Structure 1
Amino acid sequence: MTDIPEPTVVPVRYLVSCLPEGHDDRWLFSIQVEYRGNGLWAVKLRSQTLGADGTWSFGLRWIESNREPDPSEVDAYDKAQAAWLAEHRFDHDTALRLAREHAPRLRYRGYTVADALRETSRG
């Protein structure tokens, strides 16, 4: 008898796309819903994260620059980061709903999901 518990299995990522598996442009037009802990999920499009306001963000912008906060700013930075995370994390069902809503409307350099599907049907 050992004290080692049974392993747990936790699903941590979903792929949401309107393009079929094997399509050349599928990854350009796919949203990933990723588990971030504490029952919360992020909705990701490449390097961007969907916010509660429906816009995509590259992450927390700190004082109009990419510099790290100096020690006197750490509390303000921590509060800003917590606020950003609160706006960019969702429960499981909300995250999947948002990903499904946004997937058909994705664009890449003016190229749409509909364009990619149309080209496939011609080929």
Structure 2
Amino acid sequence: MHWDPEAPECRQWAVRAAVDQCLGRDGTWCDEVQERGRGEAWLAMHRFSLGTALRLARDACARVEVNGISTAQVLARDGVMEGRGRESSWALKEVRTACSRAENARLKLAPRLTGGEVDAAQMRAALDASAALLGQWRRTGRTAP
């Protein structure tokens, strides 16, 4: 976003892309017009109040696509829309840590949990159950080992 403090308050903000494009009120991108080429009609379509600029920028972000995948698809896939995405509450961090430790212990101990260990089957079952129960809170983008 770009701010012009000298413009009237209703036209102080522009939503810009990194490639010198401006977002219009209709949601389409156009090439940034040089200072002398901006008429009143162009400014009215491409300059906004702060609230309008933030809404248009948020809406435009949801439509961004990279390699055929939209921002909205990534957010849905990673659980952000359900509030799981980038949460960093203390409880979530602890659960993720416990999940990761159960998964790692299961991998490291599996070859060692043989018939020689009296409780081998119960230990393996407990680690499997822990990892399965806590897996839904695994860090986004990370798959179970």
TM-score normalised by the chain length of structure 2? 0.41
Richer in helix (by share): 2
Richer in strand (by share): 1
TM-score normalised by the chain length of structure 1? 0.48
Rg larger in 1 or in 2?
Answer: 2
Higher relative contact order (CA 8 A, sep 6+): 1
